Structure 1
């Protein structure tokens, strides 16, 4: 199927909510997301509107990309957050320099194995490198130690383990490993 990879628009909060709830119902959600379906489904419309607006095309602080099918449905999503050294960290350690942080990666089961996640990642990483202010030199993400499938994809894409590990919120006996990709020289 032909998918268009694009940034969401601020008025697409309902579709953004629907794909987030689908992701939180996925069997690996407990180790892939720092959220639960039960908590998310109860959030008010204003939360979802603000979330979409904050990650929509034109936002300087975050960008949510989706894979849109010809029928308008969304088959996958990725969100990229801008992190600056002066920001409080959302997860993990504070940024030492301007960087971006990939979160909320999800591809519907029927679209997995089609190359869609690679296309979403390319778009998110390219957006990071294209930022003029701040100029980003590193993109990071975290992966749960039990999420071997995701870790394998991140390595194939070019991410490497940075060596940082942080305890999983709510279960300090398990860890998330930080992976990073550095901006290629000359870009």
Structure 2
């Protein structure tokens, strides 16, 4: 299946909200996201409007979506910019592909767009992209490794379950 990968447009904020809520309702969401469905559903419309507007303006947080030929959104990835770390970097979050779109290469296309945007930044010039993956999300970790991400050895507690760990993975700009 072919997808158009693009940033969300400001007027599409309701669709962005719907996709995020669908992601959080997915059974794997308990390990893939730090936010709960209830938290996201309670967020005001202004938050979703602001997120969509940032994406259309091409500034972080920027949400890329994969749009199928029938207009349905198959998945997304959000890119944040972090300048307070060792090196300027982007942080990829909110990665989600709807079950019926999995296995079609959409996740790879979304990452290609997010990383391409990251490497094109001029202020700041980004040296690496990072993400966190839950220790129970082996499928996602394997996908990230296939893209070239490596574990840094840094871990953090899952905000929803302090007994569980998330592992940092990075991809350094070539």
- CA drift at 1:40: 1.4
8 Å Cα contact 2:34-2:160 kept in structure 1: no
Structure 1: gaps spanning 5 or more residues: 86-94
Counterpart position of 1:154: 144
Q: Which moved more, 1:119-128 or 1:56-65?
A: 56-65
Give the whole-Å Cα distance in 1 for the aligned partners of 2:88 and 2:154: 18
Please give the TM-score of this superposition, normalised by the length of structure 1. 0.89
**1:21 is the counterpart of 2:13:** no
Give the whole-Å Cα distance in 2 for the aligned partners of 1:151 and 1:180: 11
Give the whole-Å Cα distance in 1 for the aligned partners of 2:118 and 2:46: 28
Structure 2: gaps spanning 5 or more residues: none
Kindly report which structure 2 residues correspond to 1:81-92, keeping only aligned pairs within 5 A, or say none.
81-85=80-84
Counterpart position of 2:38: 38
Counterpart position of 2:166: 176
Counterpart position of 1:60: 59
- CA drift at 1:49: 1.0
CA RMSD of aligned residues (A): 1.1
Give the whole-Å Cα distance in 1 for the aligned partners of 2:74 and 2:9: 16
Kindly report which structure 2 residues correspond to 1:71-90, keeping only aligned pairs within 5 A, or say none.
71-85=70-84
State the SS of the aligned residue for 2:104.
coil
Please give the TM-score of this superposition, normalised by the length of structure 2. 0.96
Q: Deviations over 1:30-85 (max 9, x none)?
A: 1110111112112221221122223x132433211000012221001000101111
State the SS of the aligned residue for 2:11.
coil
Counterpart position of 1:92: none
Counterpart position of 1:121: 111
**1:8 is the counterpart of 2:8:** yes
